[in-house]
A and B are shown apart, each in its own frame.
Chain A
Amino acid sequence: MSAVRQLWMQLWRRMPTLVVLANLLWLGALGMAVYSLRGEHDLIYISASLIGFGSWFWHLGQGQTLRGLCRPESFLLPYFRRRLLWLGALDVTQWVLLPALLAMALGVPHVTLIASCLVLVAAIGLATGGNRLASLMIWPFFVLAGWMPQLASQILRTAVDSLLTAPLLLLIAALILRLTLRPMLRIDDQEPDVSPLESTSLGRMNTRTSDGSPARRTALGKRIAALFDQTSQRAMDRALARYRHHPTALQRMVLVRRLLLPHDNPEGIALRLALVATFVTIYFFAITHRQHFNAVSVGAYAILLTMTRFPQLGMGMLRMRPNLADLYLTLAPQTRAEYQKTLADALLVLVPISVLTALAYTALGAVLVHAIAPERMLLTAVIVAAASSLVALGIHLIGPEGTFGRGVVNIVLIFGSMGVYWGGYWLLGAIGYAFGSGLLAVITLSFGIGVWLAAQHEYQRRPPCFDAPLG
């Protein structure tokens, strides 16, 4: 049992806050259930919700922890799979059996259904933390429920009284668990790494998990990655040919960009935009029948999508540091500041790319929601994206190295940009496009350029660092 205890402790060691929160919810739920004996029967429903949330949090963490633990080498540990099974049994005991037994003791109706729901919640949590693709497969059910809410509530009412519901929920949970756990428990060859500064995933999620293990790619993901790699190779070939023909400083800069940001070439950008547009359109048409989106929210979401690029950049720059020594020697700069300036200038291309991205996403959003004032959305998006990108780039060049600090910076940047978009959109409506956009541009761009110049100055002042990040 010592091994199972060690496995169980992993979540406590990695995510103590989440564990405390989940267990407080568990205790609170059980406490409320007992308290409901005094006649306050409504507390049972709150108790069920609390245990559901607690279970979801807990299993989300377990999914992430397992994703980090299930590396090929781990399977050399004696009976590793069997011990994982024991861990699962412990989990079921805490999050399903005990609450279900308590509910039974308290005489709560539909105990079997409650237990099945708890199993399903646990499976969804595990999928959300452990396998993003499996978790995506859950969303169609919510989308369908939102599409036809009356039918959904009718099905729900019938399902509560049906004896088949509990086994059906268990079957769905088993399917989700299979989809989640199977890739984790399978031993595959490791995928080659992409540039730490790049990611082909649509949400600009990390190419590595938080523990540093390479993210597992699906067959579709591999194909998309291969397409991006082909564009990178072609772009690099073109840049090399141009540099050989005209070995100017500008062509040299383009070469450095192709090296640092291989997927940010015209073809790669077009491919990324096309992929995002496809997925957003599918998603939109799936839910459009139930909701009418506020155009400003869609615009702010486009800004969010654009800005999610920068956290990857910040983390990638840290991971790239040891490899950048090679670039330093290749470039052979006169001074260290010159090298730092080369890097900063090379990365500056992300600003127009971000503006273009924001423009494309906003335009798509405006078309999809039939926005009344698309030009207002686009104008705001261009100004805000330009300013926000400058700020984000500057801050990620010199910003904090720690996970917590970076996390705070990312949240402030992303939500700050969305807030500015909202404010800017209102401003354009309030005082007119010409004055509004002018004022917005003066305020935001002067701030953005100021931050960028200060950050660039600071970055050039600092000596280059080639040490691998700790931890």
Chain B
Amino acid sequence: MSTSALAPAVMSDSMRDTANTQPVLRVQALEKSFAKRSVLCGIDWVVPTGRVIGLLGRNGAGKTTLLRCLLGLSPIDSGHIELFGAPMIEPGGERMHRIGFVPQTFDLFPWMKVRAYLDFTAAFYTQWNHSLVARLLGDWQLDPKQKIGELSQGQRQKLAIVRAIAPEPDLLVLDEPVASLDPQARRAFMVELLELMRAPGKTVIFSTHITADLERADADIALLRDGRIQFTRPLAELRERIRRVVFTRAEGWTQTPAAAGLLKATLAGNEAQLLVEDPIIENLHALATQQGASLRIETPTLEDLFVELA
């Protein structure tokens, strides 16, 4: 069962109001392959201004590739990318002041000291929040005199985050930013991220496997699968509209019960677990009676949804 029922909603209804303003990002028919292995297969995606977008996808789905392509850090095979209303052929121009990026692994300039690296970077930006940098270096226990090459992976990740948010960018792109962080640092990072998002017109796109962070940020969820964005929807809407329906009967199941809005079905033992969009409860009860099964309706967590749909 595919998620095609969700697919047409590249932007859901509830997002349209926000998207009436200029979208921060518009992608059309983006294709990218590595050595004949197709990774992104005609991606169409619109990201409205002022939202936190959680990009979900399984390992190897192409999240990093997509994020790097969006910023012009990886050449694309075909398609069109618009960032802040202008084509993104290569990174450059005034809009670079408005973009922050945290790569998946930070292995840049190991010979530089933390302070020298931040000074170097700050020199390029018209806006740089020095007090924020000083505070974060202190709070996150980053020694400005230490060389980047001597930092642990988690510390490098922290440094990359500091560097990315210091110019107070309008678009923050984070590629698994919290993967190497301890829970305290992860929480502190989320606090900073939400603080940043309080200012108007700020957009965040971040890929992560830690769905709890997306829930905390009340993010819109974009699912990347089979080289395409399957859907982009607010988390609340997903929660509201999607239910896990469990039919149980002693003799088990050979066929999936036919329910309207079915997204995915799993038959396991005496249970038939269905992921259903906009279920009509009366119809489900009728179906349960017809199949001689008991019915249980649950609200899936985001992690459940990810496991089922990704």
Q: Are A72 and B74 in contact (CB under 8 A)?
A: yes
Given contacts A187-B74, A189-B75, A470-B149, contact A76 B111 (CB under 8 A): no
- Indicate if A471 sits at the interface (CB-CB under 8 A): yes
Given contacts A76-B99, A187-B90, A471-B149, contact A83 B124 (CB under 8 A): yes
Q: Are B124 and A188 in contact (CB under 8 A)?
A: no
- Indicate if A80 sits at the interface (CB-CB under 8 A): yes
Q: In the bound complex, how far is the Cα of B87 from the Cα of A231, in angstroms?
A: 43
Report chain B residues within 8 Å CB of A10.
Answer: 120
B91 nearest in chain A by CB position? A75
Report chain A residues within 8 Å CB of B90.
Answer: 75, 187
Q: In the bound complex, how far is the Cα of B109 from the Cα of A211, in angstroms?
A: 6
> Which of A14, A78, A211 is close to B124, meaning CB atoms less than 8 Å apart?
A78
- Indicate if B17 sits at the interface (CB-CB under 8 A): no
> Which of A3, A13, A187, A470 is close to B75, meaning CB atoms less than 8 Å apart?
A187
Report chain B residues within 8 Å CB of A80.
Answer: 92, 96, 124
Given contacts A83-B124, A187-B72, A189-B34, contact A13 B103 (CB under 8 A): no
B75 nearest in chain A by CB position? A187
Given contacts A6-B123, A471-B147, contact A76 B73 (CB under 8 A): yes
Report chain B residues within 8 Å CB of A73.
Answer: 73, 101, 103, 108
Q: Mark A134-147, 1 if CB is under 8 A from B, else 0.
A: 00000000000000
Q: Are B126 and A6 in contact (CB under 8 A)?
A: no
Q: Mark B109-127, 1 if CB is under 8 A from A, else 0.
A: 1111000100111011110
- Indicate if A68 sits at the interface (CB-CB under 8 A): yes
Given contacts A78-B96, A78-B97, A471-B149, contact A211 B125 (CB under 8 A): no
- Indicate if A5 sits at the interface (CB-CB under 8 A): yes
Taking the closest CB of chain B, its distance from the CB of A84, in whole angstroms, is: 11
Which one of B96, B123, B150 has the greatest number of beta carbons of chain A within 10 Å? B123
Q: Are B123 and A5 in contact (CB under 8 A)?
A: yes
Q: In the bound complex, how far is the Cα of B71 from the Cα of A73, in angstroms?
A: 9
Interface size of B in residues (CB-CB distance below 8 Å):
34
> Which of A13, A77, A211 is close to B110, meaning CB atoms less than 8 Å apart?
A211
Q: State which residues 121-170 of B face A: CB under 8 Å.
A: 121, 123-126, 147, 149-150
Q: How large is the interface on A (under 10, 10 to 19, 20 to 34, 35 or more residues)?
A: 20 to 34
A14 nearest in chain B by CB position? B111
> Which of B68, B97, B103, B110 is close to A212, meaning CB atoms less than 8 Å apart?
B110
B96 nearest in chain A by CB position? A78
Taking the closest CB of chain B, its distance from the CB of A94, in whole angstroms, is: 20
- Indicate if A71 sits at the interface (CB-CB under 8 A): yes
Q: Are A79 and B92 in contact (CB under 8 A)?
A: yes
Q: Are B124 and A79 in contact (CB under 8 A)?
A: yes
Given contacts A72-B73, A187-B75, contact A13 B107 (CB under 8 A): no
Q: Are A76 and B110 in contact (CB under 8 A)?
A: no
Taking the closest CB of chain B, its distance from the CB of A90, in whole angstroms, is: 15
Q: In the bound complex, how far is the Cα of B90 from the Cα of A78, in angstroms?
A: 12
Q: In the bound complex, how far is the Cα of B119 from the Cα of A69, in angstroms?
A: 15
- Indicate if B94 sits at the interface (CB-CB under 8 A): yes
Q: State which residues 28-84 of A face B: CB under 8 Å.
A: 68-69, 71-81, 83
Q: Are B109 and A68 in contact (CB under 8 A)?
A: yes
List 28 interface pairs A-B (beta carbons < 8 Å), by A numbering: A6-B123, A13-B111, A14-B111, A71-B108, A72-B68, A72-B74, A73-B73, A74-B108, A75-B72, A75-B92, A76-B71, A77-B124, A78-B94, A78-B96, A79-B92, A79-B93, A79-B96, A79-B124, A80-B96, A187-B75, A189-B34, A189-B75, A211-B109, A211-B111, A212-B107, A471-B111, A471-B149, A471-B150
A residues whose Cβ falls under 8 Å from a Cβ of B: 2-3, 5-6, 9-10, 13-14, 68-69, 71-81, 83, 187-189, 211-212, 470-471
Give 8 nearest A-B pairs by CB, closest first.
Answer: A471-B149, A2-B123, A78-B96, A3-B123, A72-B73, A6-B123, A77-B124, A75-B91
